[in-house]
């Protein structure tokens, strides 16, 4: 007897491809590294992650720092938000895989300690 515990997406890259967050390679001949956004993907799922990214930019300092890092690397706004969406998908996948609720990382105690003046 077989149980129905299997996820419809057994691998992270399959979920990312379904959501339109995994690039599609368009290499040919001598041309390498040419990747584009896929044409076929679940638009509603991609919109969920896009809206999640926009909300995280205003409310989550770590997401804002990641976005700013991508912009400093020379990425456009769309590329940076797509990268943030993919990062959020990775976190969601880890929560599903480990069967644990999302818990944001707590800052280290050194970051919370006030400065002591000598």
Residues belonging to the chain: 118
Mean pLDDT value of segment 98-109: 76
User: How do residues 53-68 score in pLDDT, each as one tens digit?
Assistant: 999 999 999 999 999 9
pTM: 0.73
* Mean pLDDT of the region 67-96: 93
Provide the pLDDT for residue 23.
77
Q: Cα–Cα distance between 91 and 83 in angstroms, integer?
A: 13
- 16-30, 40-54, 65-79, 104-118: which range is least confident on average? 104-118
Contact status, residue 84 vs residue 66, Cβ threshold 8 Å: yes
Cα(67)–Cα(71) distance, integer angstroms? 6
Q: What is the mean pLDDT of residues 91-96?
A: 88
């Amino acid at each position: 007897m077989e149980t129905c515990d299997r996820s419809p997406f057994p691998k992270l890259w399959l979920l990312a491809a379904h959501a339109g967050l995994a690039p599609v390679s368009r290499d040919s001949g001598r041309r390498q590294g040419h990747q584009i956004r896929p044409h076929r993907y679940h638009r509603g799922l991609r919109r969920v992650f896009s809206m999640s990214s926009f909300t995280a930019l205003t409310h989550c300092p770590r997401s804002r720092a990641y976005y700013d890092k991508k912009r400093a690397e020379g990425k456009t706004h769309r590329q940076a938000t797509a990268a943030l969406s993919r990062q959020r998908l990775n976190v969601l996948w880890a929560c599903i895989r480990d069967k644990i609720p999302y818990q944001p990382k707590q800052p280290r105690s050194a970051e919370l300690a006030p400065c002591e003046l000598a």
